[in-house]
């Protein structure tokens, strides 16, 4: 996931903590399980250039292909991006 925090947003750690709590709870419910869903750590990276931005976008959209979930990134139903970025 790539995001931009608004100026008045909580710090990134808190945003990620809340996101993981919410998605972990609902994912476990959907899967009929309980317990820890996410790893404790997350990798955050500040994008400082256009080249880095597109490198990260390409990394993200190609992850489902690398994990062998789909053959082409366009087949992954959970990819969302502004069309002009793709």
* Res 13: pLDDT: 86
Tell me the pLDDT tens digit for each residue of 24-82: 999 999 999 999 999 887 777 889 999 999 899 899 999 999 999 999 998 999 888 77
pTM of the model: 0.68
Report the C-alpha gap between 53 and 58 in whole angstroms: 9
List the one residue out of 47, 43, 49, 4 whose CA is nearest residue 20. Answer: 43
């Amino acid at each position: 996931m790539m995001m931009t925090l608004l100026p008045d947003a909580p710090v990134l750690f808190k945003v990620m903590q809340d996101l993981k709590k919410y998605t972990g709870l609902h994912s476990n419910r959907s899967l009929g399980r309980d317990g820890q869903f996410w790893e404790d750590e997350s990798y955050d990276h500040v994008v400082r250039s256009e080249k880095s931005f597109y490198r990260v976008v390409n990394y993200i959209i190609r992850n489902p292909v690398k994990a062998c979930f789909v053959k082409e990134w366009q087949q992954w139903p959970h990819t969302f991006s502004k069309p002009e970025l793709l």
